[in-house]
Amino acid sequence: MPEAQLYFLSDQYYLDFPDDKLMKNKDVIDGVPHSRPCFFAFSDSKIPEIYWIVPISSKYEKFKLIEKKKIQKYGKCNTLRFGTVLGRETVFLIQNMCPSIEKYLTAYIDRNDQPIRIDNRIAADVVKNAREVLSIAKRGAKVIFPDIFKIYYSLGEQLKFEKSNPAPDHLCHSTSKAP
C-alpha cells in the first residue's frame, strides 16, 4: 500500500469487528450515507500486512480545545495531531485509531482517479505520535478508545489462516488440451 495515502474502511470491517468505540463508518447527511471518516494508514512494525488506521476529522476547533485541556492536564497531547488535508485544517484522531488489513480498505480517490495523499511531514508526525501512543497502550493505559488489541489479534489470526490456506488460483489453469 502506498505511503501517506488516505482510505475508507469497509462495512464488512464493522461486521467482523463490532466495537461501539470505533468511529461510525457512515454519516447520514440529508438522508444520504457518506463514507466517513477517511483514515490515514501506516504499517505495523511487527506484522507489516496489518495497518494502523487513524481517522481524520474536520472538527478542528473542537479538537484544538480538547488538545489544550490535555496539555494542561498531562503536559502534552499526542493522541491528537493537526494538519492540512485537501486544503482544509484537519485533526488526526490517534485516540480513535484501530488496526486493519488491506481487504477492508478502499483508497480515497479524487475526481481524476488519483489517490488522496497527505504531506510527508504530516504523515511522519502522525506515525511518530501514533507509535508512541501504541507503546503507552501496550503498557496498559487506556489512551485509545476501541479495543485495538482484540482486533489486532483477530487480524493476525486471519492472516495466518490465509497464509496456510491460500485461495485456489483459478487464473493459472491452462485452457489448452493435453497432446
178, pLDDT greater than 80: no
pLDDT in tens, 130-164: 999 999 999 999 999 999 999 999 999 999 998 88
Quick check: is 177 in a domain?
A: no
Quick check: is 174 in a domain?
A: no
pLDDT in tens, 14-54: 999 999 898 876 655 555 555 568 999 999 999 999 999 99
| Host domain of residue 141 | 6-165
Quick check: is 170 in a domain?
A: no
CATH number at residue 153: 3.10.129.130
Quick check: is 70 in a domain?
A: yes
Question: In which band, very low, low, confident or very high, does the pLDDT at 120 lie, cut at 50, 70 and 90?
Answer: very high
- When the pLDDT of each residue in the chain is averaged and rounded to a whole number, the result is 87
Quick check: is 18 in a domain?
A: yes
In terms of Cβ atoms closer than 10 Å to its own Cβ (0-12, 13-18, 19+), residue 76 is exposed
Cell of 120: 510527508
Please tell me the total count of domains within the chain.
1
122, pLDDT greater than 90: yes
The amino acid that residue 163 corresponds to is K
